[in-house]
Amino acid sequence: METITRAMREHGAPRLVAISGAGVLVPGDHLSSVRTLLLLLSKYVALATEREAEINRASELEWVLARPPRIVPGPATGSYRVMPDRVPSPNISQGDVADLMLKCAAGSEWVRRAPIPGYGARLPPSP
C-alpha cells in the first residue's frame, strides 16, 4: 500500500478507492458479538488489512476503503444501504459492491471514510 500511495502522489492521482472487508476496524466502529467472533477467527488477515487502512489514513490522498461483508454472486440491485460503523447485513451482491465503488470514485460523500454496504433495515447510529 505504501508503494501505491507514493506512486499516486508522484503522478498526481488524488483518489484511491480500495476494497477490504467488514472485518477491518476503523475508529468508531460498533462491534456486535458476531463481528467480534469473526475478527478472532480471521486475526492475521484483519491485522494486515488494518495496516493498509492505517497507511491510507496517514496519507494525504482522498481515500475510500469500502468494507463489504461476504460478497455473493449477483447483479446490482441498488437496494443496499451504507453504514459508517456497523455491518447492515451478512452479505452483498457483486453488482452492488461495484455500484458502491463507482459512486465512491465519482462522489465525495465517503472520502477519508470506510463505508460498509449491505441490505436490511437502516440501523440507528452507534452511541
Length of the chain counted residue by residue: 127
- Print the domain residue range for 42: 2-6+13-118
**Residue type present at position 25:** L
Residue 40 falls inside a structural domain: yes
Domain assignment of residue 30, yes or no = yes
SS3 of 62, please? strand
Q: Give the three-state DSSP class for 18.
A: strand
- The answer to whether residue 33 sits within a structural domain is yes
Number of structural domains in the chain? 1
Could you tell me if residue 124 is inside a domain?
A: no
Greater pLDDT, 4 or 35 = 4
Full-prediction pTM beyond 0.95?
Answer: no
Assess if residue 31 is contained within a domain: yes
For residue 67, being part of any structural domain is answered with: yes
In a domain, 127, yes or no: no
Q: Which residue has the higher pLDDT, 50 or 2?
A: 2
**pLDDT for residue 127 is more than 50:** no
Residue 114 resides in a domain? yes
- 78: region left, alpha or beta (phi > 0 left; psi from -120 to 50 alpha): left
Written as nine digits, the cell of 98 is: 461495484
Q: What is the CATH number of the domain that holds 80?
A: 3.40.50.720
24 in Cβ contact with 53 (< 8 Å): yes
Model pLDDT, residue 124: 47
pLDDT in tens, 43-102: 666 666 777 778 778 888 999 999 999 899 999 999 999 999 888 888 999 999 999 999
